[in-house]
Structure 1
Amino acid sequence: MITSESNGQIKELIKLQKQARERRKTKKFVAEGIKMVLEAINFDKLDKLYVSESAFDRTAQRLGDKLERIPYEVVADNVFKQISDTVTPQGVLAIVNMPEYDVKEILSDERKAWVLLDDLRDPGNLGTIIRTSEGAGMSGVIMSKESVDLFNPKVVRSTMGAIFRVKFCYVESLIDIIEEIKKSGYDVYATAMEGSEVYDCVDYTKGSAFIIGNEANGVSDAVFEKASKRIRIPMEGKLESLNAAVSAAIIMYEMARQKRK
């Protein structure tokens, strides 16, 4: 059992929780909670499991014979609190190998429905968008390199396991991706507040992508210029805009609704 915060494995876990650079270097991240651990095992991505002393019996019961096939460590409760990123830890977390996808793989998906994120910065928004992308049956999520780290602990939790099932990638130039999608014969819609077509008056059935911009500044001018059209979600009352993840969800489910019809 690990009983000291100075243990090398504990130091590694803390670095992975706090440093995007360490996650990128090792191509590993931390998934916390029994649901996320089970997903990591099912997708053969689990590297090592860590269980608090007080949570070991119930975790062993949940995992069953899976526990015999994976490397794990038991951690003293006071030490586990130092490696957890949550206020009330479940007592189980794992180091997980990052899933990786190629942008060509995403663009060739037969559903032809893409989410493009232009400098999205909020972890909760990104996690919710990944989760909703799975529910709406999107081809994948393509992010500008300035967007928030997908493997940030808050993002990982917000995905509720969809991080293992939704294709995603970061790209050097979102503009190049927009050009490639348009060159293949599909429209790319940029979300805007004014002077644009209402989102549910657009035909998405032949395949398309839409862009969600930065929470504070919206879609950048350079990206706007490359979009096929601008679309907006009409607002009642005095609201100027919706949360980025909510806006993305509304458009994704309109795309899914049209395709079902």
Structure 2
Amino acid sequence: MNERLSKTKLKDIRALTTAKGRAEAGRFLVEGERIVRDVVAKGISAHVAIFDEEALHSKPTLQKLAASFNDRALLAEPKDFLAIADTENSQGVVAIFDLPKPGCQMAAKTQRASFLVLDNVRDPGNMGTVFRHASAFSCAGIFLVRGCCDPFNPKAVRASMGGVFDVAYEMDVEAEALAARFKKDGVALFACENVKDARNAFDATLPSHCAFIIGGETEGIHPAWKTLGAQSVAIPQSARMESLNAAVAASIVLALRYRA
């Protein structure tokens, strides 16, 4: 018989739904049967998994997952589970993992490497999708600057499909310091923006070490990046739309680099 979720533990877990609570505890929530199973399959251990007892009784696959957690599986009444779930139609499981340690390493000169710099990307769905595709296309690291949302926000984590565990990252990075770091390590800096003097991203011959700046949904890339040495590259598109979604733009440039 699995232990039931106590009111004290419920309070502690609910704190992880906030950025402050996650930072203080060094842990975050992963919601959904598939993503929890996939993360555990990577060999990453969860502290505990909370199961909606009603969903557990009706889903054999969820029962199998709960059994794999042994005494680290907690049963929650539906109303208590809803207090920690981020989705209206939850799959019945939320697990708690340690926050991955931040830190991006510059690649060796002999290796090809692509980095992303996210500038004011505030939408959690976009943030998570960037991490998902960064994992798919072997991105060497993601740097978050100027007003980005927390990549360990529950919505971002779900959208990443486990990508937040795969890709190195750094948060709250200062643009000036990052540009100096790239220059020192021989990483060329490119701003992905549809401006007049931009090079065509599909035709440009790029160096082995590149970092691509992706702007947020509203403000785009801050003009200061130009003074920090960033060159503009544009993804060709029709005039029907002013710009591409941030996650889509990041995925395209990473796919181009991966293909090459």
TM-score by length of structure 2 reads 0.89
Q: 2:220 aligns with which of 218, 228, 249?
A: 218
- 1:155 partnered with 2:156: yes
- The unaligned stretches of length 5 or more in structure 2 are none
**Residue of structure 2 equivalent to 1:113:** 114
Which sits farther off after the overlay, 198-207 or 141-150? 198-207
Q: 1:245 aligns with which of 230, 244, 247?
A: 247
Contact 1:205–1:255 (Cα < 8 Å) also in 2:
no
- 1:197 partnered with 2:196: no
Contact 1:118–1:143 (Cα < 8 Å) also in 2:
yes
Contact 1:117–1:142 (Cα < 8 Å) also in 2:
yes
Change (3 A) 1:81 1:171: closer
Change (3 A) 1:11 1:222: same
Q: Determine what percentage of the aligned residue pairs are the same residue.
A: 27
Q: How does 1:3-14 map to 2 (within 5 A)?
A: 7-14=7-14
Q: Which amino acid aligns with 1:220?
A: H
Take 2:172 and 2:53, find their aligned partners in 1: how far apart are those partners? 42
Take 1:46 and 1:128, find their aligned partners in 2: how far apart are those partners? 22
Once the two structures are TM-superposed, the CA of residue 186 in structure 1 deviates from its matched residue by 2.6
- 1:164 partnered with 2:148: no
Once the two structures are TM-superposed, the CA of residue 256 in structure 1 deviates from its matched residue by 1.1
**Residue of structure 2 equivalent to 1:15:** 15
Q: How does 1:38-49 map to 2 (within 5 A)?
A: 38-41=37-40, 42-49=42-49
Which sits farther off after the overlay, 170-179 or 154-163? 170-179
- The unaligned stretches of length 5 or more in structure 1 are none
Change (3 A) 1:201 1:232: same
Post-superposition Cα deviations, 1:54-84, rounded to whole Å, max 9, x if no partner, equal 23353232455x323x512111123212221
**Residue of structure 1 equivalent to 2:54:** 54
- Aligned residue for 1:46, secondary structure, equals coil
Contact 2:188–2:207 (Cα < 8 Å) also in 1:
no
- 1:94 partnered with 2:95: yes
Q: Which amino acid aligns with 1:127?
A: G
What is the Cα-based RMSD across aligned positions, in Å?
2.0
Change (3 A) 1:116 1:217: same
**Residue of structure 2 equivalent to 1:81:** 82
Take 1:39 and 1:174, find their aligned partners in 2: how far apart are those partners? 34
Take 1:202 and 1:51, find their aligned partners in 2: how far apart are those partners? 50
Q: Which amino acid aligns with 1:142?
A: F
Once the two structures are TM-superposed, the CA of residue 134 in structure 1 deviates from its matched residue by 1.0
Counting helix residues as a fraction of each chain, which structure ranks higher? 1
Q: Which amino acid aligns with 2:74?
A: E
Contact 2:37–2:65 (Cα < 8 Å) also in 1:
no
Take 2:225 and 2:254, find their aligned partners in 1: how far apart are those partners? 20
Q: Which amino acid aligns with 1:36?
A: I
TM-score by length of structure 1 reads 0.88
**Residue of structure 2 equivalent to 1:235:** 237
Post-superposition Cα deviations, 1:3-35, rounded to whole Å, max 9, x if no partner, equal 77xx01112222211x11111111111111122
Q: Which amino acid aligns with 2:167?
A: V
Contact 1:134–1:165 (Cα < 8 Å) also in 2:
yes
Aligned pair count? 251
Contact 1:28–1:95 (Cα < 8 Å) also in 2:
yes
Change (3 A) 1:117 1:11: same
Once the two structures are TM-superposed, the CA of residue 219 in structure 1 deviates from its matched residue by 0.9
Take 1:229 and 1:92, find their aligned partners in 2: how far apart are those partners? 45
Contact 1:111–1:139 (Cα < 8 Å) also in 2:
no
Take 2:201 and 2:69, find their aligned partners in 1: how far apart are those partners? 48
Which sits farther off after the overlay, 242-251 or 76-85? 76-85
- Aligned residue for 2:16, secondary structure, equals helix
